[in-house]
A and B are shown apart, each in its own frame.
Chain A
Amino acid sequence: MKKLLLTVLVLLAVVASMMLFSCAGGETEHLYVYNWGEYISDGSEDSLNVTKEFESYYEELTGKRMKVHYTTYPSNEDMYAKISSGTSNYDVIIPSDYMIERMIKEDLLAPVNIEAVCEKYGAECYYDYIGEDYRGLFYDPDNIYSVPYTYGRVGVIYNTTMVDEEDLGGWELMWNEKYAGKILQFNNSRDGFATAQYMLGLDVNSTDRADWESAQRRLLEQKPLIQSYVMDEIYNKMESGEAAISAYYAGDYFTMLDINEDLGFYYPERTNVFVDAMCIPKGSQNPETAALFINFMLSPDIAIANAEYIYYASPNSLVFEDEGYIEEMGPEAMEILYPEGFNFAEELNTYAYRNLDDKTLDMINSLWEEMKITGGLPTSVYVITVVLVVLIASMIAAVVIVKKRRARWY
C-alpha cells in the first residue's frame, strides 16, 4: 500500500523533473547538496561562498559548467524521511553518526570512492589529512561510506549575569529550582532524554524500558521549571537573555556568544559526542562528482573557511593544525572545541547515540510524548470555555424559542 503511493509520487516527481531538465540544456552538470541549516560557509558576512567556489573549481578541472543546488534540513530524521522515501536525487548529504549507521544498514548509502575519483580527474586527494582518530568509527568501521566533516559535544550554555557560579558544573543545573522559568530543554526526544540519562549515569542506547522510564520521571520533575521546549529558537532566547540555561552543541555556543557576550559554557562530565560525516545516497545520479565535491570540502582553504564559519571542531588536520585558524579562533574557543586530553575515540564509543530498532524508538517517542502532554491548561481556560459554551447555548435556545413563538403567530 505504501509502495503504491510512493510509486505514484515518484512517477509524478520524475515527470516533473524531466520537464524541468529538458529546458535546462545539456552543457551544465548539476550537483544536489543536502545539508543542515547554517552548516557551510555560504558567503554571508564576507565569508567564502563554498558552493560558488566549487562551481568554478569544477569548470577549471573538467571544462564543464557546474550548478550546485544547495538545500537544508533541520534534523537527521527529516533528512532520513526524504532520502528513504526514494523520491529525491541528492548527491551529497551530511548525517550524524547514528543516522549513518542506520542508513548503511538499510542500504541507502553508496561508497565514497574518493581516491579513485581524484585519480580520474587528476585532482589532489585530501582524504589522508583526516586525523587518525576520526577514521574507522563505529558507524562505518571500514571508512567506505562516509568522510567526517565535523565533530563536537553537547554542553550547557548559561548566562553569566543570571546564573551563580557555584551552581555550575553538571546537568543538575537544568534541574535547579532557583532558575525556574529560565531553563530551555531540547524539543526532540533523543537529546531531551539524554540530558536526564547522562545526569543519572544511564546508557543512552539502552533498550530496557525501565531505564527510559526513570529518565522520564526526571524529565517530568523538570517540566515545571522549563520555560519552553525548543530547537532553533534557542538562538533568539539565549541571545536576548530571555532564558538563562540551555543545553546545546558547542559550536553553536560561539554563534550565540558573538551576539551576547554574557554567555558562558561548560561540558558536564558525561555528555553526547557526535560526528557529522559527508555521504553519498544510493539514489545519487552523479556519485563521482559527489566524491569530488567531498574531496573539495577537505581542501585546506575550503575546510578552514567552513570551520571558521560554523565554529564546529574539524577532524581535518589541515584545519586543526593550521596556525592561522588557531589564531583566528582564539585560545578560549580552541580549549572548548579541542580540549586537551580529550580521548575522542573512547568518548564517542561510550556516549554517542547508536541506531536503535523501530520498537525501541517507538517506545522512546511514546514516553517523550507522554511527558510532553502531561499537565493541562490553567483552570481559568476551562472556566472561560464553560462560560462561553453556556452563553452560546442560551443564545441559541433563545433564538429557537422566539422562532417557535413567531411560527405560532403567522
Chain B
Amino acid sequence: MKRSFMQRAAAAPHIVWSVLFIIAPLIFVVYYSFTDLDGAFTTENIGRLFTSNYVLIFVNSLCLALISTVVCLVIAYPLAYIFSRMKEKWQRVMVLLIMIPLWMNFLITTYSWMTILEDTGIINSLFKAIGLDPVHMINTPGAVVVGMVFCYLPYMILPIYTVMSGIDPKLLEAASDLGCSGWHVMTRVVMPMSLSGVISGITMVFVPSISTFYISQKLGGGTFQLIGDTIESYFVGTAINYHFGAALSLVLMILILLSMAVMNHYSDSEDEGGRRIK
C-alpha cells in the first residue's frame, strides 16, 4: 500500500524518536564494545567476557531470572484464571489491587523488603515475639528471588488475565458439554488459548529480571553479583570503563534476543497447530 504524505508526516516524530533514542544508543553500545580506552579497534573487551568469572555471572543471572520467572508464572496463572472468572465489578477491583504496587517506585519497595527480611527485621521480630528461632533470609539468593517476584509479578498477571478474560465462557461450557472433565477443560481449552498471554508475561518478567541490578544489590547484599550490577559498576563506578560495560550490555542484549527468539518460535508453532486442528 502506498502511504500518503500525511501518513508519512505523522510517522516522522516516531522515526526521529527511534533514531535518536533507540538506534543511536545501540550504535554507541556496539562502537564502545569494540574499542579500547584510546578508541582503537579491539576484541579484548568481548574476549574478557569469556573468562570464568564473567561466565559465572551470566550463569548466576540466568539461574535467578529463570527461577523468578517460573515462580511468577506459578503464582500468576491460577490468580489470573480466578480473576477472569469473577464478576466484572470484582475484576476491576482486583486489577486495581495488582496495579497499586506498580505506582510505588521499585527502589522503595526493595528497600522495604530489606527491612522486612533482615535478621532484626519485621519477620524475625515477629518470630522472636512468638518464641520461634530467627531465620536468616537477607543477603541470600532466596531474598533476591522474593524481591524480583514481588516487583515483576504484576507484569505476569496482567497479560495472562487480559487474554483469559477474552476467552468466551461459552467455550468452556461447550467443552464440558462435550464430555471434558474439569482438568481437561483447563489443559485442552484454557491453557492453549491463554498461551499468548503466558508468552508475553514470561518475556515481560524474564527480561527485566535477568538485567536487574538494584534488587540484587540490596537484598543480596552485594556478596554475589549479577550481570546488571556488573554493568552498573562499569558505568558509574570509581573507574568508569564504558568499553567493557558496553561489551557486557551487548552480550546481555544478544542473550535476551536469543531467549525471545526461542519463545517466539514456540508460540508460533503453537498457533499453527491450533489452526490445523480447526
Contacts and interface: CB of A to CB of B under 8 A. Distances in A.
A8 B229 CA distance: 29
Given A226-B223, A373-B53, A358 B37 contact: yes
**Chain A interface, DSSP helix/strand/loop, else mixed:** helix
B225 A378 contact: no
Contacts of B66: 385, 388-389
B37 to A, nearest CB: 6
B249 to A, nearest CB: 15
B120 A381 contact: no
A382 B236 CA distance: 30
A405 B59 CA distance: 36
Contact of B141 (A372, A377, A407): A377
Given A372-B222, A375-B224, A365 B234 contact: yes
Nearest to A407: B276
A189 B239 contact: yes
Interface in A289-332: none
For B37, B67, B138, B239, the residue with the greatest tally of chain A CB atoms inside 10 Å of its CB is: B239
Interface residues of B, number: 49
- Chain A's interface size range is 35 or more
B223 A396 contact: no
A8 B23 CA distance: 14
A365 B238 contact: yes
B223 A228 contact: yes
Contact of B222 (A77, A190, A228, A377): A228
A376 B118 contact: no
B238 A228 contact: no
A60 interface: no
Contacts of B41: none
Contacts, number: 126
Nearest to A356: B239
Contact of A365 (B31, B118, B223, B241): B241
Nearest to B69: A388
Given A407-B276, A410-B276, A228 B139 contact: yes
Given A77-B236, A410-B277, A381 B223 contact: no
Interface string B208-234: 000000000110111111000110011
B126 interface: no
B60 interface: yes
A236 B53 contact: no
B277 A240 contact: no
Interface in A2-53: 5, 8
Interface string B149-188: 0000000000000000000000000000000000000000
B240 interface: yes
Contacts of B230: 369, 373
B86 interface: no
Nearest to A378: B141
Given A241-B120, A373-B54, A389-B66, A1 B28 contact: yes
A188 B64 CA distance: 25
Interface string A69-83: 000000101100100
Given A190-B238, A378-B141, A229 B221 contact: yes
A227 B221 contact: yes
B237 A5 contact: no
Contact of B221 (A77, A228, A369, A376): A228
B48 to A, nearest CB: 9
B122 to A, nearest CB: 11
Contact of A5 (B24, B63, B241): B24
Interface in B2-17: none
Contacts of B60: 376-377, 381
B57 interface: yes
A75 B59 CA distance: 31
A369 B66 CA distance: 24
Nearest to B136: A181
A178 interface: no
Contacts of A160: none
A353 B59 CA distance: 36
Given A373-B225, A373-B230, A377-B64, 15 more contacts: A187-B222, A189-B239, A190-B238, A227-B223, A229-B222, A229-B223, A240-B118, A240-B120, A359-B37, A365-B237, A369-B233, A372-B225, A375-B223, A384-B67, A410-B277
17 contacts: A229-B223, A233-B218, A236-B114, A358-B239, A362-B37, A363-B239, A364-B238, A365-B238, A366-B241, A376-B59, A377-B63, A377-B64, A378-B140, A381-B64, A384-B67, A385-B66, A385-B67
Interface of B: 20, 24, 28, 31, 37, 53-54, 56-57, 59-60, 62-64, 66-67, 70, 114-115, 118-121, 138-141, 217-218, 220-225, 229-230, 233-234, 236-241, 266, 273, 276-277
Closest 4 CB pairs of A and B: A228-B221, A365-B239, A361-B239, A229-B222
